[in-house]
Amino acid sequence: MSNKTFDTLKWLAQVFLPALTTLYGVIGATFNIPYTQEVLTIMVAVDTFLGTLLGISSAKYNSTNDDLEWVNLNEETDDGK
């Protein structure tokens, strides 16, 4: 996954979906839209799922980079130090 794709999905999960869920909840409750609670439950579940996948992806990426940095920091230099 490219950094741009990851950043876009992260923005969706952290900013857009929570804001949209709140907006829908307020409008649904105000106008007594049927199935508002059910829709909100599904929206929160989708956002949580997306956030979890992005968190796992980020942790996996960071652990891979940490391993590479650790190896580079512990390699011997040409002068034997």
The per-residue pLDDT for range 7-25, each reduced to its tens digit, is: 999 999 999 999 999 999 9
* 32 belongs to a structural domain: yes
Q: What does the pLDDT look like over 31-78, one tens digit per residue?
A: 999 999 999 999 999 999 999 999 998 888 888 765 555 444 455 555
Please count the structural domains in the chain.
1
- Say which amino acid occupies 14: Q
C-beta separation of 25 from 37 below 8 A: no
* 68 belongs to a structural domain: no
* 66 belongs to a structural domain: no
* 64 belongs to a structural domain: no
* 20 belongs to a structural domain: yes
* 81 belongs to a structural domain: no
* 34 belongs to a structural domain: yes
Q: Up-side HSE of residue 81: CA atoms within 13 Å toward CB?
A: 1
Q: Which residues, in sequence order, are CB contacts of 42 under 8 Å at separation 6+?
A: none
* 69 belongs to a structural domain: no
Segments forming the whole domain that contains residue 24: 3-57
Distance, in Å, from the CA atom of 7 to the CA atom of 31, rounded to the nearest integer, reads: 35
Is the entire prediction scored with pTM above 0.75?
no
